[in-house]
Amino acid sequence: MKRVLTAVVLIPLVLLAVFKAPGWLFGGLIGAVALLAGHEYLGLAAGHGIAPFRKTTLLFIGLYFAGLASFAGQFSWRWISNPDVFAFALVTRVFPLLLLVIAMAREDLRSSLPAAAYSYLAVPYLAFTLGMLVTLQNWKLLGAQLLLFFLIIIWVGDTAAYYFGRAFGKHRMAPRISPGKSWEGAAASLVASAAVGGLLFHYAAAIHGFLVGIHLLQAASVFGDVTAPHAPTLWLAVAFSICLNVAAQLGDLVESMMKRGAGVKDSGHLLPGHGGMLDRIDALLLAAPVLWYYAPYLARGMFSPSAQ
């Protein structure tokens, strides 16, 4: 019951942020999520016998999202030409070098490199992946709509896996990592995501004011001939939904591996019925890059002449 009540509260807030929050605010909100998840991630280190550089890591995650938020509304698919290149360079070039310098101060030098490596992993694992969602939301043409598509696919798959797995799960998928996950639940998750993804894609143009909300002419100014033969088909959209689902389930297993190794059930207790913030977003972390790199291609197929 707690799980359902938490979801009832969170889902409207998330949708409000995706569709109504200005870019700087959305970047700040996602940055706060990343910091909370980062705090929990670094807390798992003790169970692995690692003492990470907590303050330095959280500082650089915060700086990265401050950079994203400060350039809100400016969107580019090219990382190199992105206006947030300063924040990106800061955490990719300066941060690992700084960690190595700080590591020299450790009395037990055998723990220096593991601590530096674990701390730096927080950047690509949390900052870069969640940062992709920030820059995508800043894409005024279709960013919020694609984020909605993404979240629905993830939520539907997660819900199907949880309830179908509890009711019918008999064959353990990864007992060493996550004893509660079953092949039956994973299969139900995959089917649910594929079915809902196909339906969303098929009716995207028809749900004019809710999912698309722009005219074909506007899309053509960005994508060219969006009704061209090379635009995605329904089956490719289904395949994309399956890829998102697989990445999401792997993200769930990756976090379960961390928790299992640390000897804990949840990363935290922030969200009743869901555990910690990291428990709630783990599926998004590996799925976000899939959305990011496929988003322009997917957007082509969300239009048809009936959208006019």
- The structure tokens listed for 32 are 């706060």
Check: pTM over 0.75? Answer yes or no.
yes
The stretch 195-213 carries a mean pLDDT of: 66
Q: What is the pLDDT of residues 10-54, one digit of tens each?
A: 889 999 999 999 888 998 999 999 999 999 999 999 899 999 999
- The 3 state secondary structure assigned to 135-194 is HHHCCCCCHHHHHHHHHHHHHHHHHHHHHHHHHHCCCEEECCCEEEEEHHHHHHHHHHHH
Asked if residue 300 has pLDDT above 50, the reply is yes
- Output the pLDDT for position 252: 95
Asked if residue 246 has pLDDT above 90, the reply is yes
Task: State the Cα–Cα distance between residues 130 and 122, nearest whole angstrom.
Answer: 11
The stretch 157-171 carries a mean pLDDT of: 91
174 contacts 250 by C-beta, under 8 angstroms:
no
- Output the pLDDT for position 109: 80
Hey, which of 216-220, 232-236, 269-273 has the most confident mean pLDDT? 269-273
Q: Whole-number mean pLDDT of the chain?
A: 81
Q: For the chain, what are the domain ranges?
A: 21-140, 141-308
Phi, psi of 233 (to 5 degrees): -95, 170
Q: What is the pLDDT of residues 94-129, one digit of tens each?
A: 787 888 888 888 878 888 889 999 999 998 899 989
Asked if residue 62 has pLDDT above 50, the reply is yes
Going by pLDDT thresholds of 50, 70 and 90, the confidence category of residue 243 is: very high
